[in-house]
Amino acid sequence: MGAILAVKQLNLAWGLQPVQNDLNFEVKPGEVFVIMGASGSGKSTLLRHLVGLRAPVQGSIWLHGVDVYQATDAVLNTLRHRFGVMFQGGALWSSLTVGENLMLPLRLFAPDSERAMAQAARFKLALVGLNDCFDALPATLSGGMRKRVAMARSLMLNPDLLYLDEPSAGLDPINARRLDDLILALRDSLGTTVVMVTHAVDSIFAVADRALFLDEQLKTMTALDAPLTLLHHGPARVREFLQREAAP
């Protein structure tokens, strides 16, 4: 089966400052693909390029066989319906209830009757274990619950690809493990492909089929493989990262 996402000869920069160079990788359908590295390595910057928020200096990003940055607006809008994004802070509207937050993508891109949209929102909340939160305001929820609401909202258009930006950031170990379990459940039950940015090594070992390492010093990718393979046989800086970050 072909790649759902392909990155070719990609160079990233902020202004005149290079961030990452010569990135080449593919993401397979149905896998959990992790982008890892130390703070400042360009993980979230790469994610912004992958979702179409920032054009690369050089290279291309192919989604479902379409070059994202050469596509027409009409084609790009269609592509955007095929992936969901969970931002690091959740990006929930504080003035809207949980249900209203979830229904917002449907109102904008796939309007239906109020009853049908509410049913869809309740179903997605059930998927993430928040059956009773439809009428709650985000401020009344714990950090872990808000993360799960944000994930539920990213699933509202039934995407086959899900981008997650530091999903476990700020969570205690118990809630971080619950989120890892949820990611695996989405992959296993819905066949969702997941691209996840993180520096949380426990999560990397828990969920990743393969992990890509971005080196902040060399400003390029230096390893791509299963996490355990990288831990034992990867380049020295990759092994150091995995061992150091995993240590108590």
Query: Under DSSP, is residue 185 helix (H, G, I), strand (E, B) or coil?
Result: helix
Full DSSP string of 43-80 = HHHHHHHHTTSS--SEEEEEETTEETTTS-HHHHHHHH
Q: Using CA of residue 41, residue 43, residue 44, residue 45, what is the dihedral sign?
A: positive
Q: What is the CATH number of domain 32-52+86-246?
A: 3.40.50.300
Confidence of residue 109 (pLDDT cuts 50, 70, 90): confident
Which pLDDT value is given to residue 247?
A: 46
User: Cα 170 to the chain's mean position, in Å?
Assistant: 16
State the chain's mean pLDDT as an integer. Answer: 91
212 or 179: which carries more pLDDT confidence? 212
Average pLDDT of the segment spanning 40-49: 92
Confidence of residue 81 (pLDDT cuts 50, 70, 90): confident
Rounded CA separation 116/123 (Å): 11
pLDDT exceeds cutoff 90 at 143:
no
* Tokens at 245, concatenated: 């970050």
Confidence of residue 223 (pLDDT cuts 50, 70, 90): very high
69 class by beta-carbon count within 10 Å (0-12 exposed, 13-18 middle, 19+ buried)? middle
pLDDT exceeds cutoff 50 at 64:
yes
Which pLDDT value is given to residue 1?
A: 57
pLDDT exceeds cutoff 80 at 142:
yes
Count the Cβ atoms, other than its own, within 10 Å of residue 138. 19
**H/E run at residue 225:** strand 220-225
Average pLDDT of the segment spanning 94-105: 95
Instruction: List, for residues 156-170, the tens digit of each pLDDT value.
Output: 999 999 999 988 887
Q: Which of 228, 167, 147, 158 is nearest to 193 (CA)?
A: 158
